[in-house]
């Protein structure tokens, strides 16, 4: 989607969440605050996927020619 937005000169909006900051240790949070996320907590999949989305979107728009994303599947033997 970000590639299409760049090619067509369209605006791109990534809807994120405050969940990416976890349980903040600082109130209010300045723009420089990196967060306090538990990467193995019960909601970690949601928190970390949103954080990854922000990171990948930001990285693409900063360095579009350096992005090479591939998907790898893992297969496990049945026991």
Question: What are the catalytic residues?
Answer: 46
Question: Is the CB of residue 3 less than 8 Å from the CB of residue 12?
Answer: no
Q: Give the sign of the dihedral formed by CA 52, CA 57, CA 60, CA 63.
A: negative
67 Cβ contact list (under 8 Å, min separation 6): 56, 59, 60
């Amino acid at each position: 989607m970000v590639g299409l937005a760049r090619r067509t000169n369209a605006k791109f909006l990534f809807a994120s969440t405050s969940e990416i900051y976890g349980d903040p240790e600082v109130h209010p949070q300045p723009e420089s605050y990196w967060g306090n996320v538990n990467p193995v907590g019960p909601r970690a999949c949601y928190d970390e996927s949103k954080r990854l989305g922000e990171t990948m979107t930001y990285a693409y728009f900063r360095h579009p020619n350096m992005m090479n994303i591939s998907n790898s599947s893992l297969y496990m033997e049945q026991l």
